[in-house]
Structure 1
Amino acid sequence: MSRVPPTSHAGPVLVSCDVGPSSGVGHLMRCLALAEELQHRGLPVVFAADAGSVPWAAARLEERSLECRPAATTPDEHLGLLRDLDPWLVVLDSYRLPGSVYDAVRAAGHPLLALVDDGLSGRSADVYLDQNLGAERVDVPVPDGAVRLAGLDYALMRDDVVAARGATRPPRDPSAAPRVLAFFGGTDPFGAAPVVADLLGRSGRRFDATFVCTGEAAARVGAVDVSEGQRIAVIAPTPRISEHVLAADVVLSAAGSSVWELMCVGAAVGVVCAADNQEPGYEAVTAADAAVGLGHLEDLASGAAEGIGRLLDDERLRERLRTRARSMVDGRGRTRVVDEVLRRFAGPATLL
């Protein structure tokens, strides 16, 4: 056991991140994994996010006794949070915040960890985290004194994902239809679920599929025509999603950060590129033979997805994918990130 010495800032870790019906919950979910690691070490965390716009995401914070302040979007709003909380570390994870917010946090003297997916894009920070596959092979210059943590060794996994990784997959009846789980982010902002459900229905294969979605998407998925031997059920987003992943023979997902979670559990994944910013991840994971590429969402709408047939038909392919994916994400990324942060910026006096 070692004691982390106090810094000049004695408050909690402040996490400011994107979340919402149009932006999805990926930023919040990976920050939640980081927050869990900090909490396990006795370090308090406060979020600033529009979590209430996605009630089930807000519930995840409440379950972990994580305070959530209203979202901050400007430098002045962030400076107000700094004055109020005096955080020893600030975490920013956003596609929307301007670079001036990052500059303001650093100018105020608070250590800053920035989660990035697309280079630095003019954002200043003390520590950059790019948890994407292959990021470690890209040369990205950082400001003097800063460090960049890159690649799947630093992928942030929540407690439920790590628990599922350590669990045993339920036995499968070889005569039964393949069990399919389909989810496309917490809010499916691009409307992928109905498109994929229709494609499954027209595949000509047997399957027993569960789609995770709500609202209009759930209604459209539920209305898809299915043939004999095909079944589609719809459930709402659930904190037990990792258990569903573990039980599935095939998981269909958008090519966002949730793919790294699926790999950690050891899922046989078919990925859809649902947005332009998912293109690098889609190309990387399919090139690494860790998932089957189903194509771009607009192509799926026209019926082009031979990958679904391969996944449903070939158990040996699915087992190869599970083994390959699981070997690439070990579930200890968040530990490495927090270790590095504590090495650089000793947190408040806390027994670790």
Structure 2
Amino acid sequence: MRLLLRCDAGPSTGVGHAVRCAAVAEAARSAGHEVFWSGRLDGLDWLWAGLVDRDPAAEAGPPGTLLPPAASAETLVALCREHRIDAVHVDHYLLGDDLRPALNAAGVVLSTVEDFATGRRPGNLVIDPNLGAADHPRPDDGSAVLLRGPGYAPLRTAARRARRLRSIRDSGGSLPPAPPDAGRDAPGDSGPPRVLVVMGGTDAAGLLPLVVAALDAAGAPAEVDVVVPAGRDVPLPAGGPARFRAIAPLPDLPAAMVGADLVVSAAGTTVWELCCVGVPMALVRAADNQAEGYRTVVAAGAAAGLGGVDDLAPPEPAAAVLRALLTDPARRDALAARARTVVDGEGANRIVAAITSAVGLLREAALHARPAVLDDAEMLLTWRNDPETRRWSRSTAEIDLDAHRRWLAGSLDRDDRLLIVVSDAAGPVGTVRWDHECSGWEVSITVSPQRRGSGLAVPLLRAGEEALRARTGARTPVTAVVHADNAASARLFARAGYADDDTGPDDEGFRTLRRTL
């Protein structure tokens, strides 16, 4: 699958959309898919550096191929056609609600992210990762699949790794050395609590000075690391019981969470990482679109609430909340225990699996099968003589055109053979051949060499099965013969429901797989 991620990040928009897309990119690449990006993504080297599959020798930029920003359905479709994109994942509030018809008409799946009503548009898949999202009525706009709740919060692999480390820390185990730039080392059993302050990758709302002032006014001992984005100047207090230090944005923010006793954060994407890791948190509502998420997380007892920007202007109310947290470890532990139950960190993998399934369904709907005819001879011969096809065939020799024409003419007249050609809007996809044997119908499938790597093998096989079922009826036994070294074919037939018959490979290394249509 070729997946295009559409998002922007910058001083005015924040970086949360890009962080969520980065998690989806990790999961997609881990599953073997190819990733493309469209958007304005400057100044995010710290984010790309923290992804687990990032090649240290690679040039700066997101993992995958970066394309120009597409601001409309028309330009997005043009990018998809040019780069043969199978699915687009949109995490962007300002794009229109007309994307799905245009993309689907081009054979492209639309996966779209919304935060309650913000950013809402119809899609083949709609993801709302917020706590309580499933309890909110949503208009029926024809969206086929709704993935709602923190089980679909797309988190980077680093968050799941940090979750495991935090469990070790909380149970009294010893931790491996912290990665570079992860902030202060975790304190031992004594000493003031360690606090991490992060207001997103850009602090677009300008909250850092207000939060620092509230922590200073709390009057409690603490070791406070303040993540200061590039270009920001945040004066830090000196002389009070809390000691402040400015640090740069962290490539692996979840690793810094592992050793924190309290994190003060904006109520955006970072909240789900904090929940996954299991860290006590105090949240600030940094923007109107965070209001519902902020309310539900605080109401669930997974975080303490400091209010919005106006609530921080006099520091005393927020200072009182922070003072109680800094001086009461049991209160912090209760928040962390509840937060940990909210998110398990597998959301990105679930999203990629759902997109992959939607791509398969859309492809199947776009495919049409027909019986082969004599005029297909040269095309079928080209596919048959392709080196990769011959590599896994029982007969690996090339065939000449005259011999192939004779074979094709004879095949079309046989009642015990069904040969079909499958196409989509872009042209022929491949061929499926069925041969009737004593134990059922044996399948042979060939994907056009020009269409390999597009995820078409399973839809092609299903189209062939439908053609056979139309001739023979339901409950038809079918078999597939696959070489033991052909891992790709083994995966294909396993996904399609074929099971090994346990007879083992024959003398040439071929195994027999079976199912009933």
Q: When the two structures are superposed, what TM-score results if normalisation uses the length of structure 1?
A: 0.90
Would you say the 8 A contact 1:14–1:89 is kept in 2?
Answer: yes
Counterpart position of 2:150: 152
Candidates 348, 357, 364, aligned match of 1:343: 357
Partner deviation per Cα, 1:323-344 (whole Å, 9 max, x = no partner): 1111111111222222222333
**2-structure distance, mates of 1:52, 1:259:** 23
Aligned structure 1 segments of 4 or more residues deviating by more than 6 angstroms: none
Candidates 301, 306, 322, aligned match of 1:289: 301
Is 1:100 matched up with 2:114?
A: no
Candidates 85, 88, 113, aligned match of 1:87: 85
Deviation at 1:25, TM superposition (A): 0.8
User: Which AA in structure 1 matches 2:39?
Assistant: A
The correspondence of residues 201-212 of structure 1 with structure 2, limited to 5 A, is: 201-212=216-227
**Larger RCO, structure (CA 8 Å, separation 6 or more):** 1
Which has the higher Rg, Structure 1 or Structure 2?
A: 2
Unaligned stretches of 5+ residues in structure 1: 1-10
**2-structure distance, mates of 1:224, 1:60:** 27
Is 1:264 matched up with 2:279?
A: no
User: Which AA in structure 2 matches 1:27?
Assistant: H
**2-structure distance, mates of 1:264, 1:329:** 5
Is 1:143 matched up with 2:157?
A: no
Partner deviation per Cα, 1:142-200 (whole Å, 9 max, x = no partner): 33361111001111110111110111336643431110001011111001111101111
User: Which AA in structure 1 matches 2:355?
Assistant: V
Deviation at 1:53, TM superposition (A): 4.7
Counterpart position of 2:40: 50
Deviation at 1:249, TM superposition (A): 0.3
Counterpart position of 1:279: 291
Q: When the two structures are superposed, what TM-score results if normalisation uses the length of structure 2?
A: 0.62
The alpha-carbon distance between structure 1 residues 85 and 246, as it changes in their structure 2 partners (threshold 3 A), is same
Candidates 329, 334, 343, aligned match of 1:320: 334
Counterpart position of 2:16: 26
User: Which AA in structure 2 matches 1:165?
Assistant: R
User: Which AA in structure 1 matches 2:65?
Assistant: E
**1-structure distance, mates of 2:278, 2:241:** 26
Secondary structure class of the residue paired with 2:273: helix
**1-structure distance, mates of 2:294, 2:118:** 20
Equivalenced residue count is: 339
The correspondence of residues 215-234 of structure 1 with structure 2, limited to 5 A, is: 215-217=230-232, 219-220=233-234, 223-234=235-246
Counterpart position of 2:162: 164
Counterpart position of 1:254: 266
Is 1:184 matched up with 2:208?
A: no
Q: Identity over the aligned pairs, expressed in percent?
A: 35
Partner deviation per Cα, 1:47-68 (whole Å, 9 max, x = no partner): 1111125443465676573222
**1-structure distance, mates of 2:143, 2:260:** 45
Backbone CA RMSD of aligned residues: 2.2
The alpha-carbon distance between structure 1 residues 143 and 100, as it changes in their structure 2 partners (threshold 3 A), is closer
Deviation at 1:299, TM superposition (A): 1.4
Instruction: Choose 309-318 or 50-59, whichever is displaced more.
Output: 50-59
User: Which AA in structure 1 matches 2:129?
Assistant: Q
Deviation at 1:277, TM superposition (A): 0.9
Is 1:68 matched up with 2:66?
A: yes
